[in-house]
Amino acid sequence: MTGSSTRWVRLDLPGRDVASVRQVEHGYELRGRAESSGDGGPYGLDYVVTTTGKWETTRALVRGRAGGESVSIDIARQPDATWYQAGAAIPEVTGCIDVDLGFTPVTNLLPIRRLELAIGQRANVRSAWLATPGDRLRPLEQVYRRISAFQYEYQSRDPDFAAVLTVSADGFVTDYPGLWVAEIANS
């Protein structure tokens, strides 16, 4: 993968997101902008997620505005899977490999690419979840089961959610039922 991008339209609220992924020297970089009216007011957030060559999150930066407030979030994952948010250790998410930014569908790409599940295989994933920009990271238990070349059964606990995600050949979610749908997908 050298580079690809996708744009989404949010379905549950007015909103959109555009993201790209590209290979960088030591791994991959996901970069995008999410905008929506949001549950806590309007937001416009720029984000960058960096990973190792094995799609393991190393850092996530989020900048912008949410609910009328300035947002500046710096999340880092150390090689021993210790996570830091704003420089403070977050022990609840120690051991997590993926970051999950709750305001964008792009971070589903991380476990999909990292796991490389064969059709019929499933995997339990424990992600470091940032539900909204004002939150602290917390663990999110997830299950991915690949049911076809371009579909995964997805479940999360707390919040309890289940859906069949449709993805592109690059692993971008193209249909996240009730939440996001890809507007344009290209390589």
> Which H or E element spans position 21?
strand 15-24
CB atoms within 10 A of CB 72: 10
Query: Can you give the pLDDT at residue 187?
Result: 47
> CA–CA separation, 31 vs 178, rounded Å?
23
Per residue in 83-112, is it b (16+ CB within 10 Å) or e — as a string?
A: bbbeeeebeebeebbbbbbebbbbbbbbbb
Query: Can you give the pLDDT at residue 41?
Result: 79
Would you give the distance in Å from CA 63 to the centre of its chain? 15
Which segments in the chain show pLDDT lower than 50?
Answer: 185, 187
Query: Can you give the pLDDT at residue 135?
Result: 86
Domain boundaries, the chain: 3-186
| Whether the predicted model's global pTM rises above the 0.75 cut | yes
Query: Can you give the pLDDT at residue 105?
Result: 95
Tens-place pLDDT, residues 76-120: 999 999 999 999 999 999 999 999 999 999 999 999 999 999 999
